[in-house]
Amino acid sequence: MDIHAYMQTLGQRARAASRAVARADTGLKNKALATIAAALRRDEAKLLAANAEDVATARANGLEPAMIDRLTLSTKTIATMAEGVEQVAALPDPVGEISDLKFRPSGIQVGKMRVPLGVIGIIYEARPNVTVDAAALCLKSGNACILRGGSEAIRSNRAIAACVQEGLAAAGLPADAVQVVDTTDRAAVGELITMREYVDVIVPRGGKGLIARLLAESRVPMIQHLDGNCHVYVDDKADPEKALKIVENAKTQRYGTCNTAESLLIARAIAPTLLPRLAAMLQGKGVEIRGCAETAALVPNTVPASDEDYATEFLAPIIAVKVVAGLDEAMDHIARYSSGHTEAIVTEDYTRALTFLREVDSASVMVNASTRFADGFEYGLGAEIGISTDKIHARGPVGLEGLTSQKWVVLGTGQVRA
């Protein structure tokens, strides 16, 4: 198989299909989505059979258990996938929305119209549910897409693609609006991320290693997500009970998510009374404390923290702790070590809250709330295709709106420029 030629063909087809998807009205797109959801439910047995083959091969190839977990479909996960598609159908259509339409002194009216990006390339691991989510979000936002999931899921993805195709056909939308890359050759990824002519944006969903590699090689703009090294700063004006609740939730509700807190900063003035309580709560849940010398003096069983610990996304029951002089040192520390994902301050001080909100340069900045809220559903986006730690285009949770752009529209009655 000539991968270059194959991917070029996919690209050309996606570009051609993108115009039809872009002009499809809300009713048609929702009809396609409803049909996809129904097909997924109806084809449950087929999906499970295809998936079982994928899982068997993956096991035989010694894929690690966590990856097998994410690859495996069940009656429940298929139902969740179908519901997810219906939820996307229920979201407001962002396409065509006109805002800020104002008259100018020349007599023209100028505004902005929200429009699809065009063709979106999505690169992800062997997680069949992402195939469904991504297809639904791209379709609703009026984009054509090329989906490249991990090769271990190829049979599952083919079965899902058949359901998606049924939906597109039912709505009279072009089959090429959603294309699943049907090769396990890794060269396909290299092609996808360099086809500037056919792909408008790449959304990678996967581990840090994958994204760092794509970033180095991509010639297409990327909505990227690197680490989630999130901080909670407990100010000396914090309400101790709120601090306990927020640190507990931010660190221990789930260890493996990108919005989990990895570092705790605490003001020197409150550390002697509050840090031992915070640490006891965390240690009581099995969390290892890696701290500075001041932390060690206040907390038994503190492991000395290295500089690297402060820069690490542990994704595990470990937290880096540092006693700081106050807000300024906390913000300096965050500026130095944060990955720009999510940071929270716990304080009752009005000015410090506003300063933190204004000056901390991360995708989500919070006052008196758990970092775990940094999520498309919690923010009201309805669904998310990823969380961007980049500053350009989309920042933080990316929903339908992040898959669109705005063009200028000018309404005139014959005006010309003077």
Q: How far is the CB of 245 from a copy of itself (least distance, A)?
A: 5
Contact at 8 Å (CB) between 128 and 51?
yes
- Rounded CA separation 88/185 (Å): 31
Closest CA to 78 of 37, 21, 19: 37
**Shortest gap between Cβ of 242 and a copy of itself (angstroms)?**
4
- Which one of 156, 157, 339, 364 is in contact with a copy of itself (CB under 8 A)? 364
Q: Are 21 and 173 in contact (CB under 8 A)?
A: yes
Q: Is 62 in the site for a copy of itself (CB under 8 A)?
A: no
Q: Strand 288-291 to strand 318-324: parallel, antiparallel, or no bridges (unpaired)?
A: parallel
- Partners of 397 in beta bridges: 387
Number of residues that bind a copy of itself (CB under 8 A): 66
Any residues with CB less than 8 A from the CB of 76 and at least 6 apart, and which? none
Among 141, 165, 302, 362, binds a copy of itself (CB under 8 A): 362
Q: Which residues contact 331 (CB under 8 A, 6 or more apart)?
A: 355, 356, 359, 360
Phi then psi for residue 278, to 5 deg, are -60, -45
Residue 398 CA to residue 134 CA, distance in Å, equals 12
- Tell me whether residue 298 or residue 327 sits nearer to a copy of itself (CB atom): 327
What is the distance between the alpha carbons of residues 25 and 101, in angstroms, rounded to a whole number?
22
| Ranges within 117-156 binding a copy of itself (CB under 8 A) | 117-118
Which residues within the stretch 195-224 sit at the binding site for a copy of itself (CB under 8 A)? 200-201, 221
Q: Least distance in Å: CB of 130 to a copy of itself?
A: 22
Note whether 101 binds a copy of itself by CB under 8 A.
no
Q: How many CA atoms lie within 13 A of 37 on its CB side?
A: 19
What is the per-residue binding string for a copy of itself in 242-261, x denoting contact by CB under 8 A?
x--xx-xxx--x--------
Is residue 285 close enough to count as binding a copy of itself by CB under 8 A? Answer: no
To a copy of itself, the closest distance from the beta carbon of 103 in angstroms equals 10
Cβ atoms 102, 182 nearer than 8 A? no
Q: Which of 5, 45, 316, 357 binds a copy of itself (CB under 8 A)?
A: 357
In Å, the largest CA–CA distance within the chain is 78
Give the one residue of 14, 132, 365, 385 binding a copy of itself; rule: CB under 8 A: 365
* Residues 24-36 as b or e (16 or more Cβ within 10 Å = b): beeebbbbbbbbb
Q: Tokens in use for 19? A: 């115009």
Task: Please state, in angstroms and rounded to a whole number, the distance separating the CA atoms of residues 218 and 232.
Answer: 33
Q: Which of 21, 22, 289, 298 binds a copy of itself (CB under 8 A)?
A: 22
Residue 104 or 186: which CB sits closer to a copy of itself?
A: 104
80 touches a copy of itself by CB under 8 A: no
Task: Report the nearest approach of a copy of itself to the CB of residue 100 (Å).
Answer: 9
Q: Is 414 in the site for a copy of itself (CB under 8 A)?
A: yes
106 binds a copy of itself (CB under 8 A): yes
Look up tokens 């998510």; give the residue: 257
Residue 83 binds a copy of itself, judged by CB under 8 A: no
370 contributes a contact to a copy of itself by CB under 8 A: yes
Segment interacting with a copy of itself (CB under 8 A) among 133-141, 175-183, 268-276, 404-412: 404-412
What are the residues binding a copy of itself (CB under 8 A)? 19, 22-23, 96, 102, 104, 106, 108, 110, 113, 115, 117-118, 200-201, 221, 239, 241-242, 245-246, 248-250, 253, 335, 344, 357-359, 361-370, 372-374, 378-380, 390-393, 395-397, 405-417
